[in-house]
Amino acid sequence: MSEVRIAGTGLTPFGNVPERTGRDLFAQASAAAFEDSGVPRDDVEAVFYGNFMGELAEHQGHQGPLMAEAAGVRAPATRYESACASSGAAIRDAVVRIRNGETDVALVGGAERMTNLGTAGATEALAIAADDLWEVRAGMTFPGAYALMAQAYFSEYGGGREELAHVAVKNHENALTNEKAQYQSAITVEDVLEAPQVSSPLGLYDSCPISDGAAAIVLTSETYAEEHDLDAPVAITGSGQGGDRMALHDREYLARSPAAREAGEEAYADAGIDATDVDLAEVHDCFTIAEVLALEALDIEPIGEGISAARDGRTTADGETPINLSGGLKAKGHPVGATGASQIAEVATLLSGEHPNSEYVAEATTGVAHNAGGTVASATVHVLEEVGRP
């Protein structure tokens, strides 16, 4: 089984650029990834592309070959859709293909164009990741769904809005040095608590923004990296995927994420590690409560204790296990189809010492990327390790 190396990464800035198309964004990200990798485009054997709302935002389906063309690649291309976990799912399939020897070089990534829809249009488009028959038609939106999950968590384990506010403050602080982040501005706990309510108990600063952006990664087999003398010191050593019932009312838990736990356990076992080996993580914090649930699902925090992790400094940049050093979805932004790939790119550059926040994790060797779809009805988890040059 071949080891999967990260040869190069590329990100666009995440933000509000409604005039730019998805193909334009992915062309920029993939060009940066190829430049970073030193891998010729002609060597790419397959493209794995994540996108969620292309039909709604751009009236464009069949995006796989379109994005391969935008990247300047002539290779079979497939578009993956798993809501907010779309490019996480794309990465997982690319890892499997490279490991089993079918592919030596893959271009993996995703993009989303969202702000051209406006706030109402983007909210409506995002809502189709929920159960249309039982949730969307009843008026459910994702702020409302995560608010229910937050209320369930407070009821079962305790905590409140102030603890969640510390999650937002931490992630905004981490984004200050990230030139790709949508929000490079500090906030205070008071700012969070005094902001307008979106869906109680969640307020404006508990929520990630609507974003445009793209991410691309060049993955290769260890053999290819060695033969071409690539500078590729970070490998994807573990991959997992989990699922849960779609509608919240059908689930066993509201205050836990079984899909993420399943994905994390599979990824840890695949890499031969456990949670105590994790030095840093990028987790899917579309809302502040989502970060809490992710930490507990990944066993980084015990059940019921994730709520206090940011407040008590365990997950801050200088804490025991820094979480979302990129700024997370909360401050970096969340162009849905690009998010999973961007998390992998952030962890890889943190481990290789090329990230502006690498100083906080200079001794780190193991990182995790957790990507969730909808209200975590789907989830992927990947383990990355600094393994040295091939």
Is the per-residue pLDDT at 389 higher than 80? no
Give pLDDT, residue 274: 97
Task: Report the chain's mean pLDDT, rounded to a whole number.
Answer: 97
Please say if 286 is a catalytic residue: no
Output the CA angle 283-145-15, nearest 5 degrees.
50
Is the per-residue pLDDT at 383 higher than 80? yes
346 vs 325: CA distance, rounded Å: 8
Q: Which of 172, 228, 334, 382 is catalytic?
A: 334
Question: Dihedral of the CA atoms 371, 374, 378, 384 (nearest 10)?
Answer: 0
Task: Verify cis geometry, omega within 30 degrees of 0, for the bond prior to 302.
Answer: no
74 vs 65: CA distance, rounded Å: 9
169 vs 147: CA distance, rounded Å: 19
Please say if 334 is a catalytic residue: yes
Q: Which of 84, 172, 208, 355 is catalytic?
A: 84
Confidence band of 388 (pLDDT split at 50, 70, 90) = confident
State the average pLDDT over residues 282-305.
Answer: 98
The fraction of the chain above a pLDDT of 90, given in percent, is: 99
Give pLDDT, residue 63: 98
Give pLDDT, residue 390: 77
Q: List, edge to edge, every strand of the sheet that includes 366-373.
A: 77-80, 46-50, 105-112, 213-221, 4-11, 234-243, 378-386, 366-373, 280-282
Is the per-residue pLDDT at 323 higher than 80? yes
373 vs 375: CA distance, rounded Å: 6
Whose structure tokens read 């932004």?
333
Q: How many residues does the chain have?
A: 390
In the chain, domain spans: 4-117+209-386
CB atoms within 10 A of CB 151: 17
Is the per-residue pLDDT at 2 higher than 80? no
Confidence band of 183 (pLDDT split at 50, 70, 90) = very high
State the average pLDDT over residues 47-65.
Answer: 97
User: pLDDT, tens digit, for every residue of 57-100?
Assistant: 999 999 999 999 999 999 999 999 999 999 999 999 999 999 99
Confidence band of 330 (pLDDT split at 50, 70, 90) = very high
Is the per-residue pLDDT at 45 higher than 90? yes
User: pLDDT, tens digit, for every residue of 350-359?
Assistant: 999 999 999 9
- CA-closest candidate to residue 117, choices 197, 38, 211, 188: 211
Confirm if 237 and 271 have CB atoms less than 8 A apart. yes
User: pLDDT, tens digit, for every residue of 198-220?
Assistant: 999 999 999 999 999 999 999 99
> What CATH number belongs to 4-117+209-386?
3.40.47.10
State the average pLDDT over residues 134-157.
Answer: 96
350 vs 357: CA distance, rounded Å: 7
The fraction of the chain above a pLDDT of 70, given in percent, is: 100
What token pair was written down for 112?
């989303």
Confirm if 218 and 104 have CB atoms less than 8 A apart. no
pTM as predicted: 0.97
